Chain A
Amino acid sequence: MDIEKQILELKAKVDKLEKGTKDQISIVVFSGELDKLLAALIIATGATAMDTEVKLFFTFWATAALRDKKKKANGKNFMSKMFGMMLPKGSTKVKLSKMNMGGMGTAMLKSLMKKKNVASLDEMLKTAGQLGVEINICEMSMDLMGFKPEEMIDYPNLNYCGVGSYLADADESKVQLFI
């Protein structure tokens, strides 16, 4: 009789634990360099193959990589225009964090990736979108750097949010990363 009671108690505890954390991963994507963004996207798309839900929180330098090089936003002030010019315009323009060597290193890595059949950052983003990876962009980063929603990429699951949304997502994720 006692054992039965204990089993029921254990079951209740397990149920609670299972509800506490979802099969979900939250990644803060902070860096705006090719190598780091690639790492984030490979983990994100890989996780979807493992049936894990993925939430990406793009902030600071990473935000620039989500701009669409073909889109333009009007009505920016001087500082915003400067930021817009100095930061890479989109995922095809980002550079390596090491061994960039004036762009030569980045070009070399890109050609190697092509040769070895590794998907480009641009392709990875498209795949991520198809697989239901959620991208949340930090509202404050957008504001600071003067980016506007109309110049960001077309992505099926893209939202703008604050740190509260990230924390709420992270709180129910089994895995959290900062890249």
Chain B
Amino acid sequence: MEIKETLDCKGLSCPMPMMKLAKAIKGLGTGDILEMLGTDPGTKSDLPKWCEKTGNKIVEESEIEGGVFRYLIEKK
């Protein structure tokens, strides 16, 4: 899986990560993978909802060290 773009949202609070993500995903093409890094624990519940609404897909979700969440999102 090739990562097209990485979006660093570390340190940002709600609703900034979601807004940055929405903006970043607009610049990608269908099937492209976006890597998102963040520290806001709210993203854990927000991103699946965001994907449900916008039709994009979380293909991988993990927690790397230092309380950083990592998501791979595939654009619809």
Contacts and interface: CB of A to CB of B under 8 A. Distances in A.
B3 interface: no
Contacts, number: 35
B19 A127 contact: yes
B54 A51 contact: yes
B15 A46 contact: yes
A131 B18 CA distance: 13
* Chain B residues touching A, majority SS: helix
Contacts of A119: 16
Given A48-B22, A49-B50, A50-B53, A117 B15 contact: no
Contacts of B18: 46, 49-50
Interface in A15-62: 42, 45-46, 48-51
Interface of A: 42, 45-46, 48-51, 116-119, 127, 131
Interface of B: 11-16, 18-19, 21-23, 50, 53-54
23 contacts: A42-B14, A45-B15, A46-B15, A46-B18, A46-B19, A48-B19, A49-B15, A49-B18, A49-B19, A49-B23, A50-B18, A50-B22, A50-B50, A50-B54, A51-B22, A51-B54, A116-B13, A117-B13, A117-B16, A118-B14, A119-B16, A127-B19, A131-B19
